[in-house]
Structures are given as C-alpha cells and as structure tokens.
C-alpha cells in the first residue's frame, strides 16, 4: 500500500493525473454513477446522493423521540442487495441519535438481510460493521458509497447467516473523528435495528457484536466506551477493533506532512464541525493566499478518502494555517480534542474486546494502543490484544482479518465463553504475513 500511495504522491507532485488507491484502509467510498446503474430498474428507484436526496432529512420534531427511534425506513434503492451477495434484502433506516455536544441529531444506517438466517429460528446474529469512510463529505457515507462496491467482509458475514448493520456513523454532517457522535450513532444504529426486529425478520433472540478497522474501529471503540452510560440496555457479545487511533493529536503528528497527510483535513473539519465556535476559529486561521490556502484545504469538503489521500499526500498540513500546528493545539481546539478525540475516558467497555494492530503502524503509534489496552485491562475488561510485527496500518487490515473473523465467529457461535480467553487480559506478539507492506 505504501508503493501505491508513494507513486500517487510522486505523480501528483509532478503535475500528473493519477487515480488514488481504491481500497485504502479497506474503505469503499466510490461515488456512484447512477447513469450506469441497472437499466431494468425504474429510474426513480435509483440511489441519489445524500446531499440531493430529500429522504435524508429528519421529520418535524424528531428531537422529541428517544435515541435509536426509527424516523424513516425504506428498501435500499436500486440493486444493493445484489451487489452485496448472499443477501435477500437491504434497508435504509434513518434514526434519532445524539451529537458530541449531546444535542439531538440523526443518522442513517443500512441493514442487510441474509438469504439464510443462522441459528434455529429463535436465535440469530447481528454484526454491526463500521466502515472507515474517513471523509467530511456526506456523499461519501456508506449508505450511498456501498453502491460502488460492498466490502467483502459484508458478503462473507451474510453468507454465514448474519444480519449486517452498516451505519453512517459520522452523522448528517460527516463529522469524521468526532468520537462521541460516532459512538452514539453506532449504538443508536443497533438500537434502531433492534427496534425494528419484527419488521426486518430478526429472530426473537439475536446476539450482536461490532467490528471496525481504522476509522471504523474509532466508531466501534467509542461505542464500546459509551454503551454503559448511553445505552445500558444493550448487551453486546463483543467488539473487534483493528488499527485503533486512540489519540487524534498523536495521529496528526504522525501524518501531517507524510503520505497519509490527506487524513488531516477531513479529520480537522469533521471533529470541529460538532463545535461551531471551534469550527469558525479553524476556518478563520486558514491562509487566504499562497500555495497552501483555504480554497485548497476546504476542497476536502467534497472529497472521498481516496481523493484526500491523492490530493494532500506529502503536503505539510501546518502550512495551511497562519499559526501552523499551534493553531490546531490552541486552548480552544484542545478543549474539543480532550472531550472528543481521546479514547479511554468515557466509560469502561462491558463486552469482550479483540484488538489487533501493527507494531509499525505509521498512522497511530503502537504505544497509544498499548496504553489504552493497559488502562482497560487494569479495570477488568476482557481483552485479547494481538500486536503484529509485520506490516503497517493498511497492511494490518488484511493481516488481522482472519483472526478478527474467527474471534467474531466464536462470539456468535457461543463457543467463546468456553474458551481459555473468555476472561482476563491476553497480550501477544504475532507475525502474520499475508502482506508485508509497511503501509
């Protein structure tokens, strides 16, 4: 993955047109070309970009409803169930959730129904799969972007008879890296699915677990932390968290002038757009002239993750601001980072965790995840943590996939509770080499 990104950056610096790597961090954020959709479908039933689709609005007085309440529901337009495979139907669900300032807001999730439900008819499995779409553009949200390609993990899970929930956890403002919102939106997406269990055909007793890598792990981990105080009635069977980014400041220092610098603009705007005063401050500090100016920085508002990686690779993000990095670490900005960008301070996960990360992760230092795991282990969280000596951030999405899948399967099969790792904290160094890319 490093080689693809470096070639992209080099070509960009040379003024050449080049396509961004299409699966960076296992993201599926392709923009849908509706004109190329299945012509056998009625054109009025084709997917429309969320920014243009009136369905993506909340009903009047939605704020009076409880978090997780279904506000709108529809069969997913077009042929999404066919794209996914092993799927009998797919639904879009618009539901009430809660922002980072604990304000009422809404989000959308996509629910995939398997062709053959696992279990004996009275039990079932629901996998909440958080996709790392890592953008501050609502049209990059999974409910729309999935039409450009459904992650293989989703089709595989459906083939096992699992229901699969895929939330647009960044919410209606695409608030990338806003931890509290992302956690709330993930929890409320599960609430919404369970609230509609009869309608969607979920068995009477359905166990549920979360899985996310990188930006998807961000939402999943925040959900695991917040569950005990925000959604105490939910009883998750487990959560698999790969490529965790526990500290957004550490990430910024790691990437701000490197190949992955494109993560910075959407993260800065996504985190602060939950806090209007801080957002306005950040905008006021952008330079208005020169090569690194506000126009170039704000272009991210209409970019997917792949666009961001291609546009900003190797550019110094501090150069866009009058005060350099100090702007992003000012007391005003630090207040937001402390409340919405640091994992480990909002609650103790009540479910078993499977955590996996590359020791050489170039996006988020391994020490940050080590410290988070140690913190949770110290208060009794059941954690199986695998530190891979092979590869970097993107590579671990592949290298750690089999172990995460096996762990989740044991959770849903009911065999985990009888395993040697059912209680306690287990930290192991592994060397899994499906790919040895450092990126």
The length of the chain in residues reads 439
Q: 10 Å Cβ neighbour count for 322? A: 11
Q: Are 361 and 439 in contact (CB under 8 A)?
A: no
- Report the catalytic residues: 214, 361, 393
| pLDDT for residue 33 | 34
Q: Are 129 and 166 in contact (CB under 8 A)?
A: yes
| pLDDT for residue 2 | 34
| Pairing between β-strand 163-167 and β-strand 104-114 as defined by DSSP bridges | antiparallel
Q: Taking CA 132 as the corner, what is the angle to CA 129 and CA 111, rounded to the nearest 5 degrees?
A: 30
How far is residue 303's CA from residue 301's CA, in Å, rounded to a whole number?
A: 6
| pLDDT for residue 435 | 87
| pLDDT for residue 439 | 65
Query: Which of 245, 238, 227, 247 minimizes the C-alpha distance to 383?
Result: 238
Burial class (CB in 10 A: 0-12, 13-18, 19+), 118: middle
| pLDDT for residue 423 | 83
How far is residue 222's CA from residue 261's CA, in Å, rounded to a whole number?
A: 23
Q: Are 163 and 196 in contact (CB under 8 A)?
A: no
How far is residue 134's CA from residue 187's CA, in Å, rounded to a whole number?
A: 19
Q: Taking CA 151 as the corner, what is the angle to CA 431 and CA 92, rounded to the nearest 5 degrees?
A: 140
Q: What is the mean pLDDT of each run of 10 residues along the chain (439 residues)?
A: 34 32 36 34 72 96 97 96 95 98 98 85 88 98 97 96 98 98 98 97 95 98 98 98 97 94 97 96 96 97 96 95 91 94 97 98 98 97 97 96 98 86 91 84
């Amino acid at each position: 993955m490093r080689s693809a990104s470096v070639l992209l950056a080099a070509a960009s610096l040379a003024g050449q047109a080049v396509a961004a790597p299409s699966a960076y961090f296992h993201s599926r954020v392709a923009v849908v070309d509706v004109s190329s959709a299945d012509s056998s479908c009625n054109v009025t039933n084709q997917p429309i970009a969320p920014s243009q689709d009136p369905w993506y609005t909340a009903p009047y007085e939605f704020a009076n409803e409880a978090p997780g309440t279904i506000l709108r529901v529809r069969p997913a337009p077009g042929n999404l169930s066919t794209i996914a495979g092993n799927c009998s139907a797919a639904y879009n669900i618009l539901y009430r959730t809660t922002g980072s300032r604990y304000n009422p807001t809404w989000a959308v999730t996509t629910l995939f129904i398997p062709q053959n439900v696992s279990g004996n008819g009275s039990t079932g499995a629901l996998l909440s799969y958080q996709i790392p779409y890592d953008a501050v553009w609502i049209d990059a949200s999974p409910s729309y972007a999935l039409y450009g390609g459904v992650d293989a993990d989703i089709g595989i899970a459906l083939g096992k008879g699992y229901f699969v929930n895929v939330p647009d956890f960044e919410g209606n403002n695409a608030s990338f890296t806003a931890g509290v919102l992302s956690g709330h939106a993930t929890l409320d997406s599960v609430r919404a699915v369970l609230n509609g269990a009869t309608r969607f055909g979920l068995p009477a007793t359905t166990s549920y677990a979360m899985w996310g890598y990188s930006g998807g792990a961000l939402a999943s981990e925040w959900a695991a932390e917040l569950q005990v105080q925000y959604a105490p009635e939910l009883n998750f069977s487990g959560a698999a968290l790969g490529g965790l980014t526990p500290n957004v400041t550490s990430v910024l220092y790691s990437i701000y002038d490197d190949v992955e610098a494109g993560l910075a603009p959407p993260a800065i705007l996504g985190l602060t757009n939950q806090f209007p005063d801080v957002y306005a401050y950040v905008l006021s500090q952008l330079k208005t002239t020169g090569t690194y100016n506000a126009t170039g920085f704000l272009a991210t508002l209409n970019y997917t993750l792949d666009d961001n990686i291609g546009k900003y690779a190797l550019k110094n993000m501090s150069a866009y601001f009058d005060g350099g990095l100090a702007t992003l670490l000012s007391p005003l900005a630090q207040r937001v980072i402390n409340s919405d960008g640091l994992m480990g301070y909002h609650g103790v996960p009540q479910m078993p965790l499977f955590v996996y990360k590359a020791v050489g992760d170039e996006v988020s230092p391994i020490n940050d995840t080590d410290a988070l795991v140690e913190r949770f282990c110290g208060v009794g969280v059941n954690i199986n943590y695998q530190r891979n000596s092979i590869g970097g951030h993107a590579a671990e999405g592949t290298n750690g996939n089999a172990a995460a899948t096996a762990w989740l399967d044991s959770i849903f099969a009911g065999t985990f509770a009888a395993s040697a790792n059912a209680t306690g904290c287990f930290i192991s160094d592994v060397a899994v080499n499906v790919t040895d890319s450092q990126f």
